[in-house]
Amino acid sequence: MTNPPKHTVVAGAGSGGMTMALLLAMTGRSVVMIDIQPQIGGYMRRFSRDGIYFDTGFHFTGGFENILTQMLQVMNIDDVVREAPFRSKLYLAESSRHLFLPETGVDDLAEYLAQEYPSDRDGIMRYYECEKAVIANTPMFDLRDDNFQEKLQLSNYDTTTLAELFSELKVSRETATALGSAALCHGTPPCESSVTHHCRVSYGLGNHISRTERGGDSFIDAFHREAQKYGIRILTDTRIAKLDKLDSSGNCSRVLLSNGEHIETDEVYFSFHPYSILELMPEETLTTSFLRRVHRMEDSCSFFSIFGVLDNDLPFGAELTSYLSVNNLDDILLPGRPGTGTGIVLADEPDVNGNMRKTLTAFRTMYADDTLKWKKLSSRKNNREYQEFKERTTESVIAEVYRAYPEFKGKFKLSATSSPLTCKDYDPPTGCAYGVRRKIGLSRLFGKLPVPNCYALGHSALVPGVLGTMMASFLLFRQNIGEKCYRRLIAGKLR
């Protein structure tokens, strides 16, 4: 009797899971990718209302000038995932100040902010020197990097919080808010985030921010094409019910799926929330230290979002305005604090009929606890209190939009709204936007798990967002597959 074939299972089909599944398949692995949702893509999926497309969670990215383009080339999807122009602004509500951030790299960004805040020039320049130093010592910002193992070692920037750095730089509250505004794109407040973690995100967006044509749908379509080419089996509306069998070495040799199917496995990759990973680890494999590590993790914020259409006669380009209600990022990003941050994304893209439409998406920071009382409702649509909460919050977000863009009054039509509970439906178990917060001094869940041939990926691994989760997948792939195989793969793909 022959042994059944072994498969590599990737659970979770967002950007991290899709990247890892494709990389493994390109080296000859038999890959099965599963996802609990009816379609793959996670927050990269778009939705439509009245034939007009809106982003759910993927609005923009950094990295097209270097690492993202390299990864797309290796995955053979750079012909489909194409860069679209985008720019970034800040609106600081306390002072009603607009900042129009340059699109020509962090050196010009530093000079612009130094001119806006001349009394803080020295601190601003020193901050951007920190950003560049962090990136120079970050693994995998160049796929050809030979020194990535050395760059995994801790530095002083890993043991200093962003808030401590701002204090050392002696910059004003408003300047610190402007310098740290990219924290809204990773979800960890300055009092908790290491300088390293923040700068990895901030540099990527400050140096070169972009949209992609057709948003996350371009990634998903390209992945489907390559998955078919390499024989990746995709199972949706499915989850791992149990690591069904451990061998004598403690490795998982078989998983049981929620559809009743058993799959013989050589490796299992989990690209979802640490709480869900913990639930699947066999009790006998769990140590006190691992349990303590996961239980100390705390979620990042979620979002309340509005989606709508603007009159076509409005002149604007695709852009992000980060609306900050207070000059204190801790008050914006910690639960129970009074501040909020709202990302306002303007886009101009074709609808289902190919007609260009101007859209607005605004997403305000909000924690799941703010909607906890309605968590167990069987039908939120018919609950008056919940609907009134959504109406009030929608009006408040629209008021912020009009404060940043007064010319939009009377020219905006609301199409849809969503709350943290919508996010939870979309991305269980918690619906947080960026996985767990990367609190300084707490170890992350990345790579090998208590079951030796099981590995953690995703938003909670290294850096959140599409760029960060893809980089984490490349890094773990490189470690697991071996340097020789990794080098052979990228050598044939990079241009």
pLDDT tens digits, residue range 416-429?
999 999 999 888 89
Nearest to 293 by CA among 449, 159, 138, 472: 449
Domain residue extents for the chain:
7-46+216-297+435-492, 301-433
Tell me, what's the pLDDT at 312? 92
Nearest to 339 by CA among 348, 349, 330, 347: 330
Which range (91-100, 460-469, 476-485) has the least confidence?
460-469
Q: Kindly give, in sequence order, each residue whose CB lies less than 8 Å from that of residue 77, ignoring residues fewer than 6 positions away.
A: 219, 222, 223, 225, 226
Q: State how far the Cα of 413 lies from the Cα of 410, in Å rounded to an integer.
A: 8
Mean pLDDT of 162-173: 98
Helix axes 162-169, 121-136, angle to 10 degrees: 140
Counts for the chain of helices (H) and strands (E), in that order: 15, 20
CB 205 within 8 A of CB 88: yes
Q: What's the chain's average pLDDT? A: 95
pLDDT digits (tens, 9 = 90+) for 374-417: 988 888 988 999 999 999 999 999 999 999 999 999 999 999 99
H or E stretch including 164? helix 162-169
Nearest to 307 by CA among 41, 45, 53: 53
The string of DSSP letters for 440-460 reads TTS----EE-SSTTEEE-STT
Helix axes 195-207, 465-481, angle to 10 degrees: 110
pTM: 0.95
Q: Looking at the predicted structure, is the pLDDT value of residue 154 above 90?
A: no
The radius of gyration computed from the CA coordinates of the chain, to the nearest angstrom, equals 22
The strand pairing partners of 363, in sequence order, are 305, 343
Mean pLDDT of 158-174: 97
Q: Is 384 exposed, middle or buried (0-12, 13-18, 19+ CB in 10 A)?
A: exposed
Q: Looking at the predicted structure, is the pLDDT value of residue 152 above 70?
A: no
pLDDT digits (tens, 9 = 90+) for 218-232: 999 999 999 999 999
Q: State how far the Cα of 448 lies from the Cα of 451, in Å rounded to an integer.
A: 8
The strand pairing partners of 161, in sequence order, are 194
State the pairing for strand pair 209-212/61-62: antiparallel
**Beta-carbon neighbour count of residue 367 at 10 Å?**
19
3-state helix, strand and coil shares in percent for the chain, rounded to the nearest 5: 40, 25, 35
Tell me, what's the pLDDT at 47? 96
H or E stretch including 345? strand 341-350
Local structure of residue 17 (DSSP, 8 states): H
Residue labelled with tokens 């059944």: 4
Confidence of residue 460 (pLDDT cuts 50, 70, 90): confident
CATH C-level class of 7-46+216-297+435-492: alpha beta
